């Protein structure tokens, strides 16, 4: 009888632990963790709202992690992801509070994801992926920069909020411009 009770306790504990580990962090936990790290390392925070099915989200990650500019981004940013708008089968992977945070920063007014924020180490919003390509007052989400104006805007933000070298600026421009080429070939990384 003791063995049965002990086995049930172990089984219950194993299930509870496994279930707790599979629950994604909340959006607030992700942001707070990123801000804590940014304070320690004197960096900015880049929060990217994304989903597993999103091809442009994958392109943005590929750019940020590309060997040509990865060191620049790692040196200047704590990069964190908040999972939103998953498919029905993967909705459990979403970060609780992610959609609310997305809405708080105006994401719902834009054209989907990726939607990103640049925060200072104290959590103040410096910039996001909304921009006005033709100075008409109509903002749109550049998500993952690809068009020349989008890349130029993104680089202007990097210049404004970090000490980006000419070499890093050129590397970022070249890498992000490849998104346009890849989009025309309908290729997603």
Does residue 22 belong to any structural domain of this protein?
no
Does residue 8 belong to any structural domain of this protein?
no
Between 189 and 29, where is the model more confident?
29
Does residue 4 belong to any structural domain of this protein?
no
- Per residue in 119-170, pLDDT (tens digit) is 999 999 999 999 988 888 888 999 999 999 999 999 999 999 999 999 999 9
Does residue 70 belong to any structural domain of this protein?
yes
Instruction: Judge contact between 30 and 82, C-beta under 8 A.
Output: yes
- Per residue in 58-103, pLDDT (tens digit) is 999 999 999 999 999 999 999 999 999 999 999 999 999 999 999 9
Does residue 7 belong to any structural domain of this protein?
no
Whether residue 16 is predicted with pLDDT greater than 90 in this model: the reply is no
Band of pLDDT at residue 186, cut at 50, 70 and 90: very low
Does residue 18 belong to any structural domain of this protein?
no
Q: pTM of the entire structure? A: 0.83
Q: Which residues contact 116 (CB under 8 A, 6 or more apart)?
A: 46, 47, 48, 49, 60, 128, 129, 143
pLDDT of residue 178: 93
Domain with 166 in it: what CATH number? Answer: 3.40.30.10
Does residue 85 belong to any structural domain of this protein?
yes
How many structural domains does the chain have? 1
Sheet containing 77-83: give its strands across: 77-83, 44-50, 115-119, 125-128
The domain containing residue 175 runs over which residues? Answer: 27-184
Does residue 6 belong to any structural domain of this protein?
no
């Amino acid at each position: 009888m003791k063995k049965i009770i002990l086995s049930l306790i172990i089984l219950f504990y194993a299930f509870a632990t496994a279930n707790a580990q599979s629950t994604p962090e909340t959006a607030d936990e992700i942001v707070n963790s990123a801000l804590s790290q940014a304070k320690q390392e004197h960096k900015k925070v880049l929060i990217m709202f994304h989903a597993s099915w999103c091809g442009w989200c994958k392109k943005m990650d590929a750019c940020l992690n590309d060997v040509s500019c990865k060191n620049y981004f790692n040196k200047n940013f704590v990069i964190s992801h908040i999972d939103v708008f998953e498919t029905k089968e993967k909705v459990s992977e979403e970060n609780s509070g992610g959609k609310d945070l997305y809405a708080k920063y105006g994401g719902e007014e834009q054209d989907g994801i990726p939607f990103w924020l640049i925060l200072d180490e104290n959590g103040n919003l410096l910039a996001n992926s909304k921009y006005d390509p033709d100075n008409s007052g109509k903002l749109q989400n550049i998500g993952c920069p690809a068009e020349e104006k989008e890349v130029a805007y993104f680089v202007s933000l990097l210049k404004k909020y970090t000490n980006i070298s000419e070499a890093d600026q050129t590397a970022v421009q070249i890498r992000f411009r490849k998104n346009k080429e890849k989009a025309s070939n309908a290729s997603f990384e």
